[in-house]
Structure 1
Amino acid sequence: MTHLPSMNRRRFMQAAATTATMASLADVLAACSNTASSGKSKTATIKHWDFYVTQGPWVDNEIKLFQQAHPDIKIKKTTQANAQYDNLVALAQRSTNIPDLALIPQTPTFYEQVKKNWWLPINKWADEKWRSRFPDLALHEGSNIFDGKLYSAPLNALAVPFQLYINNDVFRKAGLVNSDGSVKIPRTWDDVTHAAEAITKKSGGQTYGLGFGNGSFPLLNWWLFIFLIGADCPGGPGDLDLRTGKYTFASNRNYADWIHLFKEWKTKNYIYPNSLTISDEVARAYFERGKFGMTVGGVWDQSEWKQHQFTDYSLTTLITPNEKPESLFPVKPGGYTFAISTKTKYPDETFAWFDWLYSVEAGKRWVQMGEDLSIFPQNNKPEYNSFKPYSQYIATAKFSVTGPDPTIRNPDVSYVSPQPVTPAMNDILTGYYTGQVTDLQGALQTFQDKSQQALNDAIKLAQKQGHKVSADDYIFSDWDPTKPYITRKK
């Protein structure tokens, strides 16, 4: 399943006059006071782990506000390396260096992490009043609830998680402007090719059309989100097509067509030549300085560029072979961001910090600082952030739509945990880009077959464990990927 990054890959959020909603939180502070009177230290130090870099100022500000409201609780934040984060959390589970609250890693699956007893259920504190702050289906069995126990919640609402960023100055110098002088925003694969060619040629090779940084973290999959999901590939780089319940990396020709085009951009020197070796951080700096005119990133890039006073850029997403997307980005309701360790010595105090991050007021500040959309719709108002590129990001929400969610229709699907397949899509794309993969269609077919087999094996294992699941749970034959789909429970 494509995780963003439910990826939410960018996820979080409260305020001084806060909703420290529960009576239990008052009990927490009383307990701290009682501890002090017994001769022990009255300050609880909560270890917080995440991999936020550009979002770091928001976290730091929330820590400052939280500690002002809770002087008996100290937050010790550690920002871990993004590329190593999953491994670091797994290693921490086998050591004494365990964070009290952490950003949930992407692997293994969240359910597997729960099964390994990494995370603490929060039902003790998260009563119906607490849960009622969230939109419908944000909390549901199979996503962040397992066997009736709630472990996490989403912090940000997802539009399309990645965008194509355009350096306006580079475009103007290449003559890529409309009759009114505005920058000509690419909408099709051909538009991007034309823009990359114009930039590279008119600069005499001093500026490249496109660039990225893959040296510190494999991010080529980000490009597939932008260029393939709208091209009738709603599964994207790692998910199946829920219309048929099948992986279509080889059978849907748009995958190979775009990867061939990507390689053609490289062959024609439209892409900055050191893109595979420089880091994403360096690539952002090079884009800011005009070394290339287009790059792929997320809304989190904007806060860094704003700090550098770089604001002359535009963005778009879901670039397609034709003008109109044949499928939109499917957002699954639910999701997860932070969780509390089962081994914390301060469960009440840690939940107080968890509760603060998940408050409406913290979500409002998240939007005001331009980090992302808040899970709370009332926070996503233009007046909370009038910065033009951020407004353009909010506008890309029109390219996302509520998609089918097998875990809502049958919560037992959450017990299906396919093993990761290698080489994965990012490996295939990198290998073809460098020439190490010569048979692209064969590589895609192998990846498709292995992915399908991994899913089938995981379904059989779940069935042996007594869970009522089948391949049919992944088929939504009535789904039109250009329209919202409301999954109904069985």
Structure 2
Amino acid sequence: MTSSNVSRRGLLRTAALGAGTLALGGGLSACGSGSPSSAADALTYWDWYVTQAPWVDKEIDLFEKGHSGVDVKKTTQQNAKYADLVALANRSGNPPDVFMIPQVPSVAEQVAKGWLHPLDEWATPKWQSRFPEGTFLEGANVFDGKVYSAPLKGSGPLYQLYVHHGVFKAAGLTNPDGSVKIPRTWDEVTSAAQTITKKSGGKSYGLGFGNADNIGVLAWWLDLFVRGAGAPGGAPTGAGTGMDYRVGKWTYGTDRSYADFLELFVEWKKRGFFHPNSVSLSDEAARAFFERGKFGMTVGGVWNQPEWTQHKFTDYSLVTLPSPTATPKGFYYADPVGNGAFAAVSAKSKKAHEAFQWLDALTSPAAGRRWVEDLNGVSAYPADNDPAGIDSKPFAAFVGMTRQVLRGPVPLVRNPELAGVAPGAPKPDISDVVTGIYTGQVKDVQGALSSLADQKFQLLSDAVAAVAKQGKKVSTSDYVFADWDPTKPYTTKKKA
């Protein structure tokens, strides 16, 4: 449950508006960029970074200058097809030397398939010690005591509430000193949305989003608002995600925060606070509408900011964890098992030493600080995440939100044998349920939430049983952390 730096739609949009180098409609083709080197002996490197491509290109340039005779040939693959492309490259025996690890299959499966090169020859204890404690975990990126990957970025709040200053000022939502009155509670969001909608005369609405792309936008709203209400599982999309580790189950139907917010969400719609075209707008169109002041508040992630910065739009603020109470009862939680931003060396690389040198440079503290300074996201190194010196006030605000991310329980740390557990995703999942509630297609809100929670736990139980049949000592009880206080960082405890 960590910060994403570019959404799939954002990636496609950026590519389309950029140099036109990413093949958007042609299936599996992709672009090579970065170093101009096309020599057959160059190191090959794959990622899915488009918005962050200038940072990668800069790191390649610095690396090549410091490593005479070693060139890096970068290929930026289409995000939606990345996992398939990596699998295909491995099956054909021609994978890249270094690559961002796809989220599917799991890292454990990739190691078992022989895709990843163990890094222990170079990743010494001294090298590992430069990373924050807990970076290298058995069952996450360490298997049978061998290290297989290193992180490219750190954890920030996944979603934020964005507030348009101009819209708020036009509605008179200001403090005595003229600054914008930023809403931080559910009631304050409701009041601001009502005021904007009423006073704008139809020119602006209080709230807006774009859900036409089917990328889970409405689940973002649920996730953001219920965490601060004390539902630590939130509502992230993806198989196996969103569990409340206090009980080892999905609590959509038993934690009233979910139904309470969805009731409020539907009330906002009934009272006309949402832009009427929200369901039919694309995510990128919604960002453009927000920029132009068509609505005063929207929910998204840090991936919104590069486009707005490019357009010189900085007249906004962002907050995270809006809550029913003045003080949030929950947070976002860092999970080092998340592998979407880890780099690895291919087991088939004929230049493994040089490949590790590139991975070493790409995951270094210096590269991490440049990642932050280039407004890409949060570094894996806490010392890099200093808002001072960052020119963009909105991005500096995001970097400062790292304190809203606490270390949470990680079942794999307590029982590494869980690495093989891979539950499927139900259909409909949480995003579909929220969309159905918003559109009125789902009438029994409580029933839909409870049913989904039961389905997700059954899928987990089936996945655990499958691994247990292989002789592994695993149980659904491995996901229960009854001693966890979601308002405090979790202290790692090994399974006895």
* Shorter-chain TM band: 0.7 to 0.9
Equivalent position of 1:29 in the other structure: none
Match of 2:177 in 1: 180
Name the residue aligned to 1:235.
233
Within a 5 Å distance, the mapping from 1:459-474 to structure 2 comes to 459-474=464-479
Shift of 1:138: 0.9
Asked if structure 2 preserves the Cα contact closer than 8 Å seen for 1:43 and 1:72, the reply is no
Q: 1:450 to 1:172 in 2, by over 3 A?
A: same
Structure 2 unaligned residues grouped into runs of 5+ = 8-37, 236-240
Q: 1:488 to 1:278 in 2, by over 3 A?
A: same
Measured after TM superposition, the shift of residue 172 of structure 1 is 0.7
Which residue of 2 is the match for residue 382 of structure 1?
387
Deviation track 1:242-300 (CA, whole Å, cap 9, x = no partner) reads 11112111111211221232233233332233333433333222222222211222223
1:62 to 59, 65, 70: 59
Q: Pairwise mapping of residues 3-402 of structure 1 onto structure 2 (< 5 A)?
A: 3-4=1-2, 44-70=41-67, 72-95=69-92, 98-216=95-213, 217-237=215-235, 238-333=241-336, 335-336=338-339, 337-402=342-407
Equivalent residues of 1:245, 1:476 under 8 A apart: yes
CA distance in 1, matches of 2:210, 2:474: 41
Which deviates more, 147-156 or 277-286? 277-286
Between 1:291-300 and 1:274-283, the stretch displaced more is 274-283
**Structure 2 partner of 1:26:** none
Q: CA deviation at 1:317?
A: 0.4
Q: CA deviation at 1:191?
A: 1.4
CA distance in 2, matches of 1:443, 1:202: 36
C-alpha separation in 2, matches of 1:437 and 1:88: 37
CA pair 381-114 structure 1, distance change in 2 beyond 3 A: same
Question: Percent identity of the aligned residues?
Answer: 51
- SS for the counterpart of 1:363 is helix
The answer to whether the 8 Å contact 2:45/2:73 transfers is: yes
User: Are the counterparts in 2 of residues 229 and 329 from structure 1 also a CA contact under 8 Å?
Assistant: yes
Q: Distance in 1 between matches of 2:85 and 2:221?
A: 27
* Bigger mean CA deviation after superposition, 152-161 or 68-77: 68-77
SS in 1 for 2:79: coil
SS in structure 2 of the partner of residue 209 of structure 1: strand
In structure 2, the CA distance between the partners of 1:290 and 1:471, relative to structure 1 (3 Å rule), is same
When structure 1 is superposed on structure 2, of 471-480 and 167-176 the one drifting more is: 471-480
Distance in 1 between residues matched to 2:194 and 2:220, nearest whole Å: 22
Asked if the contact 1:153–1:334 (Cα under 8 Å) also holds between the matched residues in 2, the reply is no
Structure 1 runs of 4+ aligned residues shifted over 6 Å read none
SS in structure 2 at match of 1:330? strand
SS where residue 75 of structure 2 aligns? strand
- In the aligned structure 2, how far is the partner of 1:489 from the partner of 1:59? 37
Please tell me whether residue 407 in structure 1 is matched to residue 412 in structure 2: yes
Report the AA paired with residue 105 of structure 1. Answer: P
Contact 1:241 1:248 survives alignment (8 Å): yes
Q: Kindly provide the CA deviation profile for residues 146-171 of structure 1, in whole angstroms up to 9, marking residues without a partner as x.
A: 22222212232213122111111111
Deviates more, 1:230-239 or 1:405-414: 405-414
Partners of 1:181 and 1:332 in 2: how far apart?
Answer: 40
Other structure's SS at 1:197 match: helix
| Alpha-carbon offset, residue 183 of structure 1 | 0.8
How many residues are aligned here?
Answer: 457
Report the CA distance shift for 1:468/1:48 in structure 2 as closer, same or farther (over 3 A): same
The equivalent residue for 1:487 is: 492
Q: Determine the C-alpha separation between the residues in 2 that align with 1:427 and 1:301.
A: 23
Once the two structures are TM-superposed, the CA of residue 440 in structure 1 deviates from its matched residue by 2.5
SS of structure 2 residue aligned to 1:465? coil
SS of equivalent residue, structure 2 residue 42? strand
Unaligned 5+ segments in structure 1 are 11-40
Change in 2 beyond 3 A, CA 1:72/1:84: same
